[in-house]
Structure 1
Amino acid sequence: MKNGENVSNVQRRKFLSNLTIATGSAVLVSSPFSSIASLFVEESRQITVGEIMNSFISEVPNGAIPNTVDTLKSGNADIVVTGVVTCMFATIEVIRKTIALGANFIIAHEPTFYNHQDATKWLENDEVFKYKSELLKKHNIAVWRNHDYIHSVHPDGVRKGLVERLSWGKYGNPDQNMYNFTSALSLKELIHDLKAKLEIPSLRYIGDLKASCSKILLMPGAAGGQRQIEAIIKNKPDVLVTGEISEWETAEYVRDARAKGENICLIVLGHVASEEDGATYMRNWLKNKFPSVKANFIKTGASLSML
């Protein structure tokens, strides 16, 4: 009986194996091992550029944004994704690294072609534009700008990434601009802390380096002079920490406010340094939502250097 049972088991396994080959994953899915089978099915499922885009947009309050700049700058929504790169800018260097990784989908926060709308007609005869666009086309790489949408999720994905890098979450709500430190830092100490955590070799500031800073107004990116000044007026911070300014606007307001006697300082991080951690947020989102897709963050870094 024992030997007969062994033969029977072997025959049964062979039958199941042949049936599985003949009918594909349907047998596995209906078997006791269906959870394992579904994992293999998920791993082999083809995911498109459009599916990833739509998944992220579905998390934004009110859904799709009319007249958004968040459109495909290269490729199309039907491209099957072999890997994703998240970054601040889809530079030529980033594109080359994407190719080396075997990826074909770049999610960038800022423009690809040197203007907010990514208008390219004025660049049609330019050799730099032609080289970049042809490089993307040759390797069938899709580039999606995710600017308006990542700023519209709650909390703002760019701010969340930055606040996590700075470890400021305990000092304020990531949906708000103000962070209240339990222990004040001098302006000099705050500058050194920002430089170390954000890997910034140098930055610009206005203020007394000995000034006490506990009320921090954090405005990454380029909010614009009026919004920055209005936020200073409303919140009365010790220091505004921002990404980028128009020098004839916010800086001049802070200079005059200090001359009047206000205790206000300004720290300018640079646009890239203040928003690049939004790309790490995007990379982490992809790993959570599409675990079968290889996702990599590539640091763009600042284009400008200072002596």
Structure 2
Amino acid sequence: MRKIEIIEQIKNHHYHEWLGKEINEETTRDQILFGDIDEECTGIITAIYASVDVIKHAIEKNVNLIIVHESLFWNHGDHTDWLLGNKTYQIKKKMMEDNHITVWRNHDYLHAGIDYKGRRVDGIFYGLLELLGWENYVHGNIGFPLILNIPKIKTEDLINEMMYKLNLNGIKCFGNINGYTEKIYLPMHITGNDNDKITVVDQENIDTIISMECIDYTLGIYVKDAAMLNIEKCIIAIGHFNLEEPGMKWYAEKFLPAILPVTVPIYFKQVGDMYQFVIK
């Protein structure tokens, strides 16, 4: 099958409405970010983003279609006009050109939802829930998981379990990691205007927040203050890419093989820890 045929077949198995609006093919994030879509597809790698290591892995596996969830060239919209003299850009671009690699971003369609086991699920966050064994602990709509009620666990044990299951070497945390966790909140992005999230944490009696981005000066210091008052609250700041990465693993291992011909090899490549930790 040609790459474009693969992409269209995948899109046909997703919902086309997200956040109350029809996905617009002209304005969606889900564009061909690089390469020729009319060539025959030799195989697929999914990844949270097409890092240099992911591209090298594709070359090793003789795969020429990389499906990513995030951008390729370090900016929203993947504009490259400002990168023409950039050395890293030139080398990365040449690697893909020389090996006929195409990169397709699947962001909006994955979040819009997939029919899986009789339910409409967000492909990214369902992958995380399944990895952690939390599919049945969602409070509300599993299509967009925000609050979960899990069996009571020591927060430090939860952190170590997540580090092991997400295959990470470290996790940044705020607040009290020595308490217990039963009620979890996934607020998605914590980027600066977070009064609503602080209100949810307080009113819903949240024990632990599992976050993507987490800046210091809103929810971060709120949780630290709460912990200083012996109120058991903690943020497990996994990071944007590492929290969504299990969804791309699930996509490669569970979803795509069910809808694509068996002749198309499919792999997942973990990007892994976004941070290195230097400890005093």
Instruction: Identify whether the pair has TM-score above 0.5, normalized to the shorter chain.
Output: yes
User: Which residues in structure 2 correspond to 1:47-196 (within 5 Å)?
Assistant: 47-58=1-12, 59-62=14-17, 64-65=23-24, 67-153=27-113, 154-172=120-138, 174-175=142-143, 176-182=145-151, 184-196=152-164
When you count helix as a share of all residues, which structure comes out higher? 1
Aligned residue number for residue 209 of structure 1: 177
- Give how far 1:180 is off: 0.9
Distance in 2 (CA, whole Å) between partners of 1:228 and 1:263 is: 17
Aligned residues: 259
Asked whether 1:270 is paired with 2:270, we answer no
What is the root-mean-square deviation in Å for CA atoms of aligned residues?
2.2
Structure 2 counterpart SS, 1:299: coil
Q: Relative contact order (C-alpha < 8 Å, sep 6+): which is higher?
A: 2
Q: State the alpha-carbon separation in 2 of the partners of residues 56 and 211 from structure 1.
A: 43
Cα distance change on mapping 1:229 and 1:50 into 2, 3 Å: farther
1:286 equivalent in structure 2: 256
TM-score normalised over the length of structure 2: 0.84
Query: In 2, are the aligned partners of 1:187 and 1:209 still within 8 Å (CA)?
Result: yes
Distance change (3 Å), C-alpha of 1:219 and 1:50: farther
Question: Do structure 1's residue 301 and structure 2's residue 269 form an aligned pair?
Answer: no
Q: Can you give the 5+ residue segments of structure 1 that lack an aligned partner in the other structure?
A: 1-46
Match of 1:249, SS state, is helix
- After TM superposition, give the deviation of residue 219 of structure 1 in Å: 4.3
Shift of 1:48: 2.1
Secondary structure at the aligned position of 1:51 is classed as: helix
Give yes or no for contact 1:203–1:269 (8 Å, CA) kept in 2: yes
Residues 176 and 233 of structure 2 are in contact (CA less than 8 Å); yes or no, is this contact kept in structure 1? Answer: no
What percent of counterpart residues are identical?
Answer: 28
Q: TM-score with structure 1 length normalisation?
A: 0.77
Shift of 1:51: 2.1
Shift of 1:151: 1.4
Greater share of residues in strand: 2
TM-superposed CA distance for 1:84, in Å, is: 0.6
Structure 2 residue aligned with 1:239: 208
Matches of 1:263 and 1:210, distance apart in 2:
8
C-alpha deviation, 1:204, in angstroms = 1.7
- Post-superposition offset of 1:261: 6.6
Structure 2: 5+ residue runs without aligned partners?
A: 114-119
Q: How far 1:100 moved relative to its partner?
A: 1.5
Which residue in the other structure is 2:117 paired with? none
Check conservation: 1:70, 1:146, Cα contact below 8 A. yes
8 Å Cα contact 2:36-2:100 kept in structure 1: no
Q: CA deviation at 1:257?
A: 4.4
| Runs of at least 4 residues off by over 6 Å | none
- For residue 267 of structure 2, give the secondary structure of its aligned residue in structure 1: strand
Between structure 1 and structure 2, the one with the greater Rg is: 1
How far residue 53 of structure 1 moved from its aligned partner, in angstroms, is 2.2
Report how far residue 210 of structure 1 moved: 2.9
2:2–2:40 Cα contact (<8 Å) kept? yes
